[in-house]
Amino acid sequence: MDKKLKIVSIWEDPDVIELEISASNGLFSGATKCYSQRNEIHEIGNRLKNFQLKKGHEESISFFIDDKSSAFHFTVRCIDSIGSVNVKLRIIHIANYIGINPQAERYISEFDFNTEPILLENFAQELISLAKQNIGEVKAQLFAKI
């Protein structure tokens, strides 16, 4: 499996857009579907586009509910003085929210990978495009550092 985070729009009604999210760091992976709004996705793209490459700076982003129980949460953090970025992901399968799974901890995946500033910038721009384009036309992908 590729080392990356991928977000794709798959469905929409007048109030929400459904996203399919998958990610892997080569050893661990996870996938879920969650809901957002186009303006929220655009705002997240802008936050990441303006991410400060200053050691210790971080941005936390969640889709669905809140930071502790979101269907998808990730934190982007600058880890050194040359702008290397660590991405920590927490993916919770939607079955946890609709009562299918009485043991919710089985459907949670947490892991991280490192990426480069240009790859983060590309991802931010793809999120902004995803927020504007028709369903399924754009994939926002954040690739891990090689």
Q: Is 65 a residue whose pLDDT tops 70? A: no
**What distance lies between CA 57 and its chain's CA centroid?**
18
CB 1 within 8 A of CB 24: yes
Query: So what's the pLDDT on residue 98?
Result: 53
Helix (H) or strand (E) holding 141: strand 139-143
| Gap between the Cα atoms of 123 and 140, Å rounded | 6
First to last CA, the chain: 14
Rounded to a whole number of angstroms, the CA Rg of the chain reads 15
Pairing relationship of beta strands 72-78 and 58-63 according to DSSP bridges: antiparallel
Average pLDDT over residues 134-145: 94
For residue range 47-60, what is the model confidence (pLDDT) as tens digits?
A: 999 999 999 999 99
- Give the whole-angstrom CA distance, residue 63 versus residue 83: 26
Domains in the chain: boundaries: 4-143
Find the mean pLDDT for residues 58-71. Answer: 72
Confidence of residue 68 (pLDDT cuts 50, 70, 90): low
Query: Is the pLDDT assigned to residue 64 strictly greater than 60?
Result: yes
The token pair that represents 66 in the structure block: 């809140």
In angstroms, the CA 47 to CA 61 distance is: 9
Q: Is the pLDDT at 97 greater than 60, yes or no?
A: no
Is the pLDDT assigned to residue 103 strictly greater than 80? no
Q: pLDDT grade, residue 142 (50/70/90)? A: very high
Q: pTM (2 decimals)?
A: 0.89
